[in-house]
Amino acid sequence: GIQVEQSPPDLILQEGANSTLRCNFSDSVNNLQWFHQNPWGQLINLFYIPSGTKQNGRLSATTVATERYSLLYISSSQTTDSGVYFCAVSSLSGANSKLTFGKGITLSVRP
């Protein structure tokens, strides 16, 4: 099946810093989503971005489907950005739209 690799596994930032989180995948996809898992365990949907670029406030994401990667940018980070960020993809060759998740990136933003 499709493989999803996220990097770096852990990231520590000072409040106000910018960061880039990366997601590589091994096959063509028809869906890519970025999630933030909050301290209560809920998956917060950040972006649905199978291709192209989107922005939402301090967050933006870019997916280059032909090169099989996606980037999540966090600017002017805040302590509330802390948590685990997951990339999840659905393979173009898959029978349905099940998502395969990466292992996640644990972000800690220090005041």
Q: Which residues bind other proteins (CB under 8 A)?
A: 30-31, 33, 35, 41-43, 45, 48, 50, 86, 88, 90, 95-104
CA distance 97 to 11: 30
Cβ contacts of residue 83 below 8 Å, gap of 6+? 36, 37, 38, 39, 106, 107
Nearer to other proteins, 2 or 71 (CB): 2
Backbone angles phi, psi at 15, to 5 degrees: -50, 135
CA distance 97 to 90: 6
CB of 14 to other proteins, least distance (A): 25
Nearer to other proteins, 17 or 22 (CB): 22
Nearer to other proteins, 3 or 20 (CB): 3
CB of 69 to other proteins, least distance (A): 18
CB of 44 to other proteins, least distance (A): 9
Nearer to other proteins, 76 or 108 (CB): 108
C-alpha triplet 36, 42, 47: angle, nearest 5°: 35
